[in-house]
A and B are shown apart, each in its own frame.
Chain A
């Protein structure tokens, strides 16, 4: 069965302020969706809400995957259900080597490896994991030495983004959310990251790509492009919509939907999207 991430009439608040105001979106395995939109429109809020960040409060609406109510699940349960979020700002965890972290994540997501026999956990061969990790590192041109480095500690912005995608390739989610993974990357890195995402493409893999730039979409060739304004998707289309946005900016859409400029000072302060 093809899984579908179904978001219906979603309303989200953070610290009492409504950021997402009635959003509908359906992402199936096998589909690539892109979300674009001006700063402060709620794109990162959507990403973090989908993954279950405790700060974001869903006040209305539903999110489900394969018919399962995601709102009832903790972030780790959502991950095990098949979701993945590539963070816009990945966190650092000192003293934890990347490979050790990923190995534990692989184990956590593959319950069959935890099966008991004679009271002892069955171990997935370590060599197999190493091989997988090195393969994926090659695709993303991440140096092997990163396996032993502490998670995101001392990584440059670009290295962090690549390692987010590396984690995704190793964990092989069913639905991935990429939150501005291309921001701050040089031209070559954008291409490498896109190749990484494309290496997962297939009927089993769906993605929601949040971006400000058309460049990454040239490589990803999304099936759907959505424009998010003030907490709603106001326009959807195919990849030609992204090209049009790159050329014309957002003003024509804002006028079309009758929305005023989003750049009001009052909204800037409270929205996490503004951190970039």
Chain B
């Protein structure tokens, strides 16, 4: 999300068909599949709706410094003053007054495994998620078999000077670093939902990689045991110092249930000179969720940033990972895949801003639409004056699995520099009868054939995932194709 697209959205919408209303049937059905009672065992749960008092209360409860409270209040004002965007997905049914903006977990198990509905358990089963992780994912337990492993890793990282903790702890323990960088990549005024996040943020990760340090094992957000990890307004800040290397990974392929209907995260990344960062997200929110996320990386000289982003769940996702290439020779890569099933709209893509010479970017987007789902690619490549020798390539491939589903592309290119080389390629495909027949003639059932073709389509993304994630991801797609999920 950003205001930048706001005007782009308006401009483009003149030539584009009006967005269809989400299909309620599918939405309801899918909602039920993850719906279970929330026992409401919280230490503190805010009243519904937004107020200045609530922001003050949250900040006080967290024992935050004065400057953070001021940031929050500023965010609140900006949020209230900005209109809800009318481009991208349909946000008209979002009711800000009906939502709860802060829940402080008790730190104890919030629900017992017995309370988790069979449907969810079955899905975990089909995905082959280990027992301990299932409980965690379902919000029933925070114990991990891998905790010992994680503990060792933590010691290893600490020796190297790596900081990896939740953002609230980060603010308490590293106030100077926090104040220096926090909100500089994505200020509250960036867009309405970044402002909302600024006012109510809680949880998320704070990561610092010192100069020259290479972290070879992905930092996994879901290793970090914290009920606020999957919070509503999580806020992540990652700084990779000069010449360092890090892969941060968040999310999981299993459906993530939340009783909340809005998730609005802000992810700020800083990739200093010569550093390499990769940020992998797999999002599979339950399909009642509005997932409106702003994520952006500042990339300095000779540094490289890779976003690897999968959006499978949610009712509506609006998310455009961005790279701001600010130093000579900086590289940015955005690999984004989306699956839009019944009642879902995935409005995703990426942005590459070339603000320095010899910067390169590549945006690859792959989407699948099925059962009336809609997948949109929305992207921007911008080359500012003086950024000579820029190269950028955009590739969007959409796969439509039936006549009811929809895909569209909104590519924007703004180039103020003649020497730039910009490539753009878009394809929309359907699964051919002949391809299906060919695979079936070898003994695969129709749904096996279909999911094999779809997995093949997704392969350029899947091969970038750590193996255990790739396997889970493939299984999930297979389940979606065979219709046995939901």
**What is the distance, in angstroms, from B200's C-beta to the closest C-beta of chain A?**
41
Known: A96-B456, A105-B443. A54 touches B433 (CB 8 A): yes
Whether A105 and B444, one on each chain, are in contact in the complex, defined by CB atoms closer than 8 angstroms, is: yes
Whether B445 and A108, one on each chain, are in contact in the complex, defined by CB atoms closer than 8 angstroms, is: yes
**What is the distance, in angstroms, from A183's C-beta to the closest C-beta of chain B?**
18
Is there a chain B Cβ closer than 8 Å to A150's Cβ?
yes
Number of interface residues of A (CB under 8 A): 30
Is there a chain A Cβ closer than 8 Å to B439's Cβ?
yes
Additional A-B contact list (18), CB under 8 Å, known A95-B456, A105-B443: A52-B437, A52-B440, A52-B441, A55-B433, A75-B441, A76-B442, A84-B442, A94-B457, A95-B455, A96-B452, A96-B453, A102-B442, A105-B442, A108-B442, A108-B444, A109-B442, A167-B442, A171-B443
Tell me the complex Cα distance, A76–B438, Å. 10
Is there a chain B Cβ closer than 8 Å to A90's Cβ?
yes
Tell me the complex Cα distance, A93–B435, Å. 7
Whether B457 and A80, one on each chain, are in contact in the complex, defined by CB atoms closer than 8 angstroms, is: no
| Nearest 5 Cβ contacts at the A-B interface | A95-B456, A95-B459, A96-B456, A79-B443, A108-B443
Chain B contacts for A109, CB-based, 8 A: 442-443
Tell me the complex Cα distance, A91–B438, Å. 7
Taken residue by residue from 73 to 103, chain A's Cβ proximity to chain B (1 for < 8 Å, 0 otherwise) reads as 0111011100011010011011110000110
Chain A contacts for B449, CB-based, 8 A: 76
What is the chain A residue whose CB lies nearest that of B445?
Answer: A76
Is there a chain B Cβ closer than 8 Å to A53's Cβ?
yes
Is there a chain B Cβ closer than 8 Å to A104's Cβ?
yes
Interface residue ranges of A174-197 to B (CB < 8 Å): none
Whether B440 and A79, one on each chain, are in contact in the complex, defined by CB atoms closer than 8 angstroms, is: yes
Is there a chain A Cβ closer than 8 Å to B432's Cβ?
yes
Known: A91-B435, A101-B439, A167-B442. A108 touches B455 (CB 8 A): no
Chain A contacts for B432, CB-based, 8 A: 91
Is there a chain A Cβ closer than 8 Å to B425's Cβ?
no
* Chain B contact patch, size range: 20 to 34
Whether B459 and A74, one on each chain, are in contact in the complex, defined by CB atoms closer than 8 angstroms, is: no
Most A-side CB within 10 Å, residue of B432, B437, B438, B442? B442
Is there a chain B Cβ closer than 8 Å to A51's Cβ?
yes
What is the chain B residue whose CB lies nearest that of A177?
Answer: B441
| Sample of 13 A–B contacts (CB below 8 Å) | A51-B441, A52-B441, A76-B440, A84-B442, A91-B438, A93-B435, A93-B439, A93-B452, A95-B456, A95-B459, A96-B453, A96-B455, A109-B443
Chain B contacts for A171, CB-based, 8 A: 442-443
Taken residue by residue from 100 to 139, chain A's Cβ proximity to chain B (1 for < 8 Å, 0 otherwise) reads as 0110110011000000000000000000000000000000
Taken residue by residue from 442 to 465, chain B's Cβ proximity to chain A (1 for < 8 Å, 0 otherwise) reads as 111110110011011111100000
**What is the distance, in angstroms, from A117's C-beta to the closest C-beta of chain B?**
16
Whether A104 and B444, one on each chain, are in contact in the complex, defined by CB atoms closer than 8 angstroms, is: yes
Tell me the complex Cα distance, A135–B121, Å. 42
Known: A101-B452, A105-B442, A108-B442. A91 touches B434 (CB 8 A): yes
Contact of B446 among A53, A76, A105, A150 (CB under 8 A): A76
Chain B contacts for A51, CB-based, 8 A: 437, 441
Whether A75 and B440, one on each chain, are in contact in the complex, defined by CB atoms closer than 8 angstroms, is: yes
Tell me the complex Cα distance, A75–B456, Å. 21
Chain B contacts for A80, CB-based, 8 A: 443
Taken residue by residue from 94 to 138, chain B's Cβ proximity to chain A (1 for < 8 Å, 0 otherwise) reads as 000000000000000000000000000000000000000000000
Taken residue by residue from 340 to 372, chain B's Cβ proximity to chain A (1 for < 8 Å, 0 otherwise) reads as 000000000000000000000000000000000
Taken residue by residue from 49 to 66, chain A's Cβ proximity to chain B (1 for < 8 Å, 0 otherwise) reads as 001111100000000000
Contact of B458 among A78, A85, A95 (CB under 8 A): A95
What is the chain A residue whose CB lies nearest that of B459?
Answer: A95
Whether B446 and A93, one on each chain, are in contact in the complex, defined by CB atoms closer than 8 angstroms, is: no
Chain B contacts for A151, CB-based, 8 A: 456
Chain A contacts for B459, CB-based, 8 A: 94-96, 150
Tell me the complex Cα distance, A102–B443, Å. 10
What is the chain B residue whose CB lies nearest that of A109?
Answer: B443
Whether B457 and A76, one on each chain, are in contact in the complex, defined by CB atoms closer than 8 angstroms, is: no
What is the chain A residue whose CB lies nearest that of B463?
Answer: A95
**What is the distance, in angstroms, from B12's C-beta to the closest C-beta of chain A?**
30
Chain B contacts for A85, CB-based, 8 A: 441
Known: A93-B452, A101-B452. A53 touches B437 (CB 8 A): yes
Chain B contacts for A91, CB-based, 8 A: 432, 434-435, 438
Chain B contacts for A96, CB-based, 8 A: 452-453, 455-456, 459
**What is the distance, in angstroms, from A199's C-beta to the closest C-beta of chain B?**
19
Whether A54 and B437, one on each chain, are in contact in the complex, defined by CB atoms closer than 8 angstroms, is: yes
Most B-side CB within 10 Å, residue of A75, A87, A150, A151? A75
Interface residue ranges of A150-174 to B (CB < 8 Å): 150-151, 167, 171
What is the chain A residue whose CB lies nearest that of B449?
Answer: A76
Chain A contacts for B441, CB-based, 8 A: 51-52, 75-76, 78-79, 84-85, 87
Known: A79-B440, A171-B442. A104 touches B435 (CB 8 A): no
Contact of A74 among B434, B438, B440 (CB under 8 A): B440
What is the chain B residue whose CB lies nearest that of A96?
Answer: B456
Tell me the complex Cα distance, A152–B444, Å. 17
Taken residue by residue from 192 to 217, chain B's Cβ proximity to chain A (1 for < 8 Å, 0 otherwise) reads as 00000000000000000000000000
Most A-side CB within 10 Å, residue of B438, B441, B456? B441
What is the chain A residue whose CB lies nearest that of B456?
Answer: A95
**What is the distance, in angstroms, from A153's C-beta to the closest C-beta of chain B?**
9
Tell me the complex Cα distance, A269–B359, Å. 53
**What is the distance, in angstroms, from B97's C-beta to the closest C-beta of chain A?**
46
Tell me the complex Cα distance, A52–B433, Å. 12
Chain B contacts for A108, CB-based, 8 A: 442-445, 448
**What is the distance, in angstroms, from B417's C-beta to the closest C-beta of chain A?**
35
Chain A contacts for B438, CB-based, 8 A: 87, 90-91, 93
**What is the distance, in angstroms, from B434's C-beta to the closest C-beta of chain A?**
5
Chain A contacts for B437, CB-based, 8 A: 51-54, 75
Whether A104 and B445, one on each chain, are in contact in the complex, defined by CB atoms closer than 8 angstroms, is: no
What is the chain A residue whose CB lies nearest that of B366?
Answer: A95
What is the chain B residue whose CB lies nearest that of A91?
Answer: B438
Interface residue ranges of B402-456 to A (CB < 8 Å): 432-435, 437-446, 448-449, 452-453, 455-456
